[in-house]
Amino acid sequence: MATRIPSDFRRLPITQNLQGLSVLEGLRAALSVAVIIALDNVFDWAPLREAALAAMLTCICDPGGPIRRRVPVLIGFALGGALLTGGLGFARGFGLPVALPVGVFALFCASFARIYGTVPQQLGGLLGVVIVLALDRPVPELGEAAVLTAAFAGGALWSTLLTLALWPLHPFLPARRAVAAVYRSLALLTADLRALLRSTATDAAAWEHHARAHRRAVREAIETARTQVVDTLRARGSAGARATQSLIRLETADQIFGAMIALGELLEQATPLEHRTADPLLRRLRPLLVVLGEVILTDDPKAHQRIARAIDRMAAEAAVLPPDDKLRPLADRIVERLRIAHTLAVPGNFLPGTASGGRRPSLRQRLLQPLQTNLTWRSPILRHALRAAVAAAPALAYTMLWFTPYDHWLTITIVATMQPFFALTYTRAVERVLGTALGGVVAALVGVLCTTKLAVAAAMFPLAVMAFTVRSVSLGMFMLALTPLVVLLVETGQPDTSEWLIAGARALLTTIGGVVAVAATFLLWPSREPARVIGQAREAVAAHGRYADAVVGALLGRGDAASVERARREAGIANNAFEATINRALLEPGSADPNRLEAALVIDAALRRCAGRLSVFQFDPALARSVPPEALLAWGDWISGGLAMVASGRSALPPRPQAAANDTILRLARQVELMAGIVERLGQPATA
């Protein structure tokens, strides 16, 4: 009987990114809202509260990054939100039969916007909030609708203006932070690897945990940084020193990562003497990576001499290793890449594979291609958008029929919490509900101390600073800090209402909305992660087959280093996507097939070992020379062909080649055979 795989709720992707703290963002948001609230205290004009809300939402909409990238998003939100506020408010005056279908369709479009990427996804989510708020009450006259439209646009543009005024500096800082995070991730990998060497109780499970946790984290950091750097290059151009530095440092980190994978694979099978030989390398490498990460952000001139001395000491220690030592080529490669990161000298043979200056597709292609790809029932995003619209429709109708000033929080929570996949929706629901509940208590306590309208307005400034300072740290912390601000903002329009009542209503409606979102994601046309495991597994196996073919081809002179690097990166990305799908499948209740998930976990572990052995092959030509070229070709064809067969779901591998082989080749062959023996347990790929 297959072992039952329980849902491991520790796998929930609830994280706290302390690097996301930004007091400057908090001050910008506080000033955006506080100035408008102060004007409302003076003039007591209701549209100013609409402007304050628009300013706050615009701050949330800010995607960060270069100014040229942010301003179009903020202006687009200002104009789109203004038109929705006035237009849907006026449509609400025609009654439920008109307003409800229009509102539901608008929510579908807002949710479907994620087909165009992360920034449109965030923009669509906030426009969904605007849609719900605009349908709160009818605006019977065009003149009143025009005033609300102008008020929203004015508040949003005021916030955008502050973005230009307070954030004209450091346009490359987001890219530098992302690259620095890669070096910190490499330092953590190095520290954990050294701890494994120094431990007296290491076993296969410990090495497996090290590879699964740290390799995935580094690859995700690299790809996140790559996106940020390329976006910055497109916005700012590639001629500046900052752009060049970020690009080279990132590519260097990626190549250090490849060498570290190979090093880990060697050390797992190494003797205690070889562990002691590698210990000085790792001992020097971890702080060096930390300092390199810090220098990327600080440009501290005093650190460069320390970095140079540390690299020289590492080079000297590597030089005393025997020429035939397995660690020697890896140590030399790491030292060379560290020198590149330090001096920023670009070697001709290691240019990044991503062309930042290439031509972009036409606007028509960028608009139509995602639509053509996702206008099919097999698209998780299409099903998600329909699910969000259907789940929000009853709540929206309830708001229209039995309106209170707080009912919109129910619909907003449903729309903002729901994600294409169950695990992500569940995570958001937990963070949003807990953060809102705790924030409601804080809001009520603030209300006890602030008993006048002026005091409430004054309290909103530090609350806004705190909320937007932690906005990028975690959703839970942001909701905790944002809830008091929202409660007090509501109170400015209803000064006689108890803060406890407002906070309680928000907590209750948020909880109900979170439950509805989780239930709808699970019940309405779900994108079952256990079913997606099959396709992701086969894509990952196929990518590793191409990686194996590229490595052997380069060793035989049929390929170059650039093609191997591309194949290695593609294999790493595919395996990360596979692991993410497994983690979400483990969280999904109900119909998860334990046989399928066990098979996926075995294949995942085997792929990591394949990647490690291929990295060893890639960086140690002596291994290739130990096998005759004819034998290497035969084994390379068998390994890459075997992985291709596994990727297609076939388990009957051809016999092993009757040719010479070294230990690395035999280890690779065993992993291929292991995956072939279990691939049938994955089952057939889903057709929907």
Apex 564 CA angle, 558 and 569, nearest 5: 160
Contact 208, 196 (CB under 8 A): no
Cα–Cα separations (whole angstroms), residue 472 to 69, 120, 467, 469: 18, 17, 10, 8
Q: Quick check: is 144 in a domain?
A: yes
Q: Quick check: is 368 in a domain?
A: no
Contact 263, 616 (CB under 8 A): no
Query: How many separate domains does the chain show?
Result: 3
Shared domain check, 110 and 48: yes
Q: What is the pLDDT of residue 643?
A: 92
CATH code at 345? 1.20.58
Q: DSSP alpha helices (H): ranges in 357-474?
A: 363-374, 380-401, 408-417, 422-449, 453-469
Shared domain check, 653 and 553: yes
Predicted model pTM: 0.64
Shared domain check, 230 and 122: no
In angstroms, rounded to a whole number, what is the distance separating the alpha carbons of residues 555 and 624? 7
Domain boundary (457, 488, 523) is at: 523
- Two tokens, residue 112: 């479907």
Q: What is the pLDDT of residue 244?
A: 60
- Other Cβ atoms less than 10 A from the Cβ of 108: the count is 21
In tens, the pLDDT along 192-241 reads 888 888 776 567 777 777 777 778 888 888 888 887 776 665 555 444 45
Q: Quick check: is 623 in a domain?
A: yes
Residue ranges of the chain with per-residue pLDDT less than 70: 1-22, 64-66, 166-172, 200-202, 230-244, 343-361, 451, 453, 472-474, 488-499, 527-531, 587-594, 620-624, 683-688
Q: What are phi and psi of 361, to 5 degrees?
A: -60, 160
Shared domain check, 391 and 493: yes
Shared domain check, 208 and 161: no
Shared domain check, 517 and 537: no
Q: Quick check: is 313 in a domain?
A: yes
Contact 606, 594 (CB under 8 A): no
In angstroms, rounded to a whole number, what is the distance separating the alpha carbons of residues 688 and 685? 9
In tens, the pLDDT along 584-626 reads 777 666 545 667 777 787 788 788 888 888 887 777 666 667 7
Shared domain check, 100 and 217: no
Shared domain check, 158 and 60: yes
Shared domain check, 429 and 315: no
Q: What is the pLDDT of residue 345?
A: 33
Q: Quick check: is 141 in a domain?
A: yes
Q: Quick check: is 13 in a domain?
A: no
Q: What is the pLDDT of residue 365?
A: 78
Q: b/e for 403-438, b at 16 or more Cβ within 10 A? A: eeebbbbbbbbbbbbbbbbbbbbbbbbbbbbbbbbb
Q: Quick check: is 370 in a domain?
A: no
Domain boundary (470, 497, 523) is at: 523
Domain boundary (503, 523, 543) is at: 523
Shared domain check, 404 and 447: yes
Shared domain check, 230 and 132: no
Contact 453, 435 (CB under 8 A): no
Which class for 168: exposed (0-12), middle (13-18), buried (19 or more C-beta within 10 A)? exposed
Q: What is the pLDDT of residue 85?
A: 93
Instruction: Output DSSP code: residue 352.
Output: -
Q: What is the pLDDT of residue 528?
A: 65
Range(s) of the domain holding residue 30? 19-169+380-523
Q: Quick check: is 364 in a domain?
A: no
Shared domain check, 198 and 144: no
Q: Which of 579, 606, 582 is nearest to 594 (CA)?
A: 582
